[in-house]
Amino acid sequence: METTSVSTVKPKRKDKSEDKYRIGATIAFIVVIIGIGVPMWWKTTTVYRVTLPSNAILGLSEQPIKTAVQVAIYTQGSSRAQLLIGELQSAFNESEIWNVEFKHLPPPSRSNEAHTPAALEKLLLQEHPQSVGDFMFIEWPKLQEEVLLTTERSALIRSDTTANKLAQVLHSKILQTYRINQILSTDDRLGAKSEAPQPAYDVIVSVLNPKPRLTHAQWNISMAVKTYVEPWLAQVSDISNYTVRTQWKYRVAIEANLKQVRDESKLGRHYALQEADLPHLLTSISQNLSASTTDKPAINLVVYIPPCKTAPLHIYNSKQQLLTRNGVDAFISPPWGGVIIANPPESVCLAYANDEQPLPYHVSTTDNMQVMLDQLHKLLDISSELQMEGVKTVDIEQLAPRRWEYEAYLRRSAIRHIATASRTLQSLINLLDQISYIVINDDVAAAITSSYADILAAKVALLEHRLGDASALAKRAFVASERGFFDASLLAQLYFPDEQKYAIYIPLFLPVLVPVLSSFNMLRKVLQNLRKEKQH
């Protein structure tokens, strides 16, 4: 009896000790897998995404861009000025994009000394200084035109010029409302076709001489560019920075469909290039130019010297009308650049026609540089080409654009930068919301949030009549939005969606989960047995 009882007690003690070890091992296994393994897996597979002000960015379109402008009016009689101001305020009261403040200027203290419009304007500015973006109408009775736009922030008006005409000038020339509406339009058919100004450009001035042995053209193009182009670009560098370089190209093959036309010159003929064939000439020229070595967009300014065999070369339109202006043939193709055809002098081509020795000659710097600056006006979208009846614009006599034209360009560029940056951020937010596995790192988040903040600040600056600040803030917002949108880190997991992640990790972790589940089942049975033993 005693032997039997001893043998039955020892196995029970052994089973209990084994159960304890088994329970401990199971719990440890579960803790390691679930408590450490699962959080580690979750942490290492979670896409890093910084929180962004998505709702605020998507609501940018609901906050209109409105610009404050101050327009001063000086007339000989104060009653006429008040009448003009009242009618102009009625014309601009319902504007959604302009907040125009009209101001009456009293006669200056020394108005009797002003015998010219320039002298009167100088006296008015001494007593009423202007800010960037302001404009002034000055009545001058002896004026021939209804409105004469100067090169500064002013225009002369006649004594019978109506408020309706002034409103047209403000909308069409000074504020350029139609172009602002194009920028802000959400309709692709009405929207502006040109892109927002980039922060930096390469300006490449090239001189093409296909036959240098027969055409001995001499020109210090570097000096001409430093004298004319660089100073002009320095005056318009608030929006973009410009890097200028020059080059000569020889023995280039230029293909164009030319037609000989008889004339009464000493050569007896010239060659016609149809306006419809200009794209083919442009393609031939661009193939001979050196590619830009930077990632900045390039503006090409080409001076093409045709050989005497096909010179002089002139451009004709579809109505067979000569398009030569001031003895120069030229055309532009935005945003690529412009081309000037610099025909050799008649004496040079006469020597060629008579089989004489080639005559060296100097290319005219003044004529070609004036055309080149005019092309830059148009390529950078600074010039105002809209013609109005009864409105004349004073010719430019300095190496700088007209002040009111350039400030209209500043205003337009600021609004375009704000609109473009807003659309870029909204597109990026929509993309990030739709694709959850795109990484949003700190650099991208910083670019997006700083762009959003600058957009808001630029809108406030426009409304507070701070055009210079608004232009700088809008440019910064545009650059930051482009940097965020094109950041390479956004593509890091773009081709590794959640479906592929599950397809890779499930076969890896499923075998590990089988012993975990079986351990849970074993632990349940052991605990049930312990409860039964306690009950007995």
pLDDT in tens, 285-308: 888 887 667 788 999 999 999 999
- Distance between CA 124 and CA 108 in Å, rounded? 6
Token pair, residue 258, equals: 């030319």
160 and 276 belong to one structural domain: no
Residues 224 and 88 in one domain: no
For the chain, report the end-to-end CA distance as a whole number of angstroms. 23
Decide which of 172, 191, 218 is a domain's last residue: 172
CA 449 to the chain's CA centroid: 19
**Domain hosting residue 357, numbered range:** 200-380
CA 213 to chain CA centroid, nearest Å: 43
Report the amino acid identity of residue 288. N
15, 24, 302, 523, 534 from 526: Cα distances, Å: 11, 12, 91, 5, 13
> How far, in Å, CA of 156 to CA of 35, rounded?
82
No. of helices (H) and no. of strands (E), the chain: 16, 16
Q: What angle do CA 191, 193, 195 make, to 5 degrees?
A: 110
Helix (H) or strand (E) holding 290: none
Q: List the one residue out of 460, 426, 428, 413 whose CA is nearest residue 65.
A: 460
Asked if residue 74 is part of any domain, the answer here is yes
Structure tokens at 32: 């390691």
Q: Is 463 exposed, middle or buried (0-12, 13-18, 19+ CB in 10 A)?
A: middle
168 shares its domain with 254? no
**Is residue 316 included in any domain, yes or no?**
yes
Residues 6+ apart with CB under 8 A from 458: 414, 417, 418, 469, 470, 473, 474, 477
Backbone torsions φ then ψ of 72, nearest 5 degrees: -100, 145
| pLDDT at residue number 29 | 72
Can you tell me the distance from the alpha carbon of 213 to that of 91, in angstroms, rounded to the nearest whole number? 64
Alpha carbons 223 and 359: distance in angstroms, whole number: 23
Residues 39 and 83 in one domain: no
Q: Which residues pair with 259 in a beta bridge?
A: 272
- Angle 308-312-314 (CA atoms, 0-180°, nearest 5)? 145
Residue 454 lies in a domain: no
Q: What is the dihedral of CA 517, 520, 526, 531, to 10 degrees?
A: -140
Indicate whether 162 and 208 sit together in one domain.
no
- What string of pLDDT tens digits covers the 536 residues of the chain? 444 444 444 444 455 666 677 677 777 777 777 777 777 767 766 778 888 999 999 999 888 999 999 999 999 888 999 999 999 999 999 899 999 999 999 988 877 777 888 888 888 988 899 999 999 999 998 888 999 999 999 999 999 999 999 999 999 999 999 999 989 887 665 555 568 899 999 999 999 999 998 899 999 999 999 999 999 999 999 999 999 999 999 988 788 888 999 988 888 899 999 998 898 888 888 888 876 677 889 999 999 999 999 889 999 988 888 888 877 899 999 999 999 999 999 999 999 888 889 899 999 999 999 999 999 999 998 987 788 999 999 988 888 899 999 999 999 999 999 999 999 999 999 998 888 778 888 999 999 999 999 999 999 999 999 999 999 999 999 999 999 999 888 876 665 666 666 676 677 777 777 777 777 777 777 777 777 777 76
312 upstream amide cis, omega within 30 of 0: yes
Place of tokens 């579809």: 318
Question: How far apart (Å, rounded) are the C-alpha atoms in residues 175 and 419?
Answer: 17
Q: Please report whether residue 124 resides in a domain.
A: yes
Task: Assess if residue 243 is contained within a domain.
Answer: yes
Instruction: Compute the distance between CA of residue 267 and CA of residue 260 in angstroms, rounded to an integer.
Output: 12
Angle at which helices 403-434 and 442-463 cross, to 10°: 140
User: Are both 116 and 245 inside the same structural domain?
Assistant: no
Residue 427 CA from chain centroid, whole number: 17
Cα separation of 394 and 423, whole Å? 38
Q: What is the pLDDT of residue 116?
A: 87
The answer to whether 151 and 396 are in contact (CB under 8 A) is yes
Helix (H, G, I), strand (E, B) or coil at 208: strand
Q: For residue 405, what are its two tokens?
A: 């034209």
Strand partners, 246: 205
Spatial distance between the Cα atoms of 481 and 442, rounded to a whole number of angstroms: 14
Phi-psi region of 395 (alpha: psi -120 to 50; beta: other; left: phi over 0): beta
Only one residue has tokens 């719990």, namely 27
CATH of the domain at 337: 3.40.390
Residue 413 lies in a domain: no
- Calpha distance 150→121 (Å, rounded): 11
Same-domain check for residues 234 and 369: yes
Please indicate, yes or no, whether residues 226 and 296 belong to a single structural domain of this protein: yes
Boundary (domain end) residue, out of 340, 360, 380: 380
Strand partners, 495: none
Residue 495: the pLDDT is 58
State whether 26 and 115 are in the same domain.
Answer: no
Three-state secondary structure string covering 356-393: CCCCCEECCHHHHHHHHHHHHHHHCCCCCCCCCCCEEE
- Alpha carbons 345 and 356: distance in angstroms, whole number: 15
Stated pTM of the model: 0.83
- Residue that finishes a domain, picked among 338, 355, 380: 380
From CA 200, how far away is CA 295, in angstroms rounded? Answer: 10
Task: Name the nearest CA neighbour of 392 among 112, 87, 147.
Answer: 147
Residues 156 and 228 in one domain: no
pLDDT, tens only, 161-180: 999 999 999 999 999 999 99
- The pLDDT assigned to 314 comes to 93
Cβ burial of 30 (10 Å; 0-12, 13-18, 19+) is middle
Write down the mean pLDDT value for the chain. Answer: 86
Whether 436 maps to a domain, the answer reads no
Position 395 in a domain: no
Same domain, 161 and 236: no
* Domains of the chain: total: 3
**For position 112, which CATH number holds?**
3.40.50
268 plus 334 within the same structural domain: yes
3-state secondary structure string across 431-451: HHHHCCCCCECHHHHHHHHHH
CB under 8 Å to 72, separation ≥6 — which residues? 102, 103, 104, 105, 124, 128, 130, 134, 135, 136, 137
